[in-house]
Amino acid sequence: MAFTDAEKTDIRRYCGYPVFGGQPVQAFGHRFYQQYGTLEFRLNNLQPSEEAVIRTTYLTNLTQLESDIVGTRSNLDTDQAAVWTHNKNEQRDREQLFDSWRRKLCGFLGVPPGSALGNGNSINLVV
């Protein structure tokens, strides 16, 4: 079964690609980058078994991981309670886990991470 528009939106977003937009002809922007075209082609031409892997492994886990990151906001005010000590790096650790799964999705689809996901380096230099 083909991906729904909502699933495609999530996949693009998780892979770090910007919004697709709804204009029928737009002769500029990210939609004309080769890697974006590759991603769109793959999303529209996967085998049912490949779609199943993306739905059950990647979309399910990435949705939960993203929710977990947002959920850390409820822990940001506690540094220590009784013997329990809050992981001060919880949000960073969760974001790193989330981004690693996003990169695995890109790898499975055979596309480079989009500009919103970056190349995985902590420092990007433009010369």
- CB atoms closer than 10 angstroms to residue 113: 20
What letter does residue 51 receive in the DSSP assignment? Answer: H
Alpha-carbon distance 125 to 46, whole Å?
35
The answer to whether the Cα torsion of 8, 14, 16, 19 is positive or negative is positive
For residues 59 and 102, give the distance between their C-alpha atoms in angstroms, rounded to a whole number.
10
pLDDT of residue 74: 62
State residue 120's pLDDT score: 54
Cα dihedral 106, 110, 112, 117 in deg (nearest 10):
-10
57 neighbors 107 (Cβ within 8 angstroms) = no
* pLDDT value at residue 123: 45
Q: Which residues of the chain have pLDDT under 70?
A: 22-33, 73-86, 119-127
Helix orientation angle between 5-14 and 34-44, rounded to the nearest 10 degrees: 140
Query: With 0-12 CB in 10 A as exposed, 13-18 as middle and 19+ as buried, what is 86?
Result: middle
Sign of the alpha-carbon dihedral angle for 10, 34, 32, 115 = positive
Q: pTM of the prediction?
A: 0.76
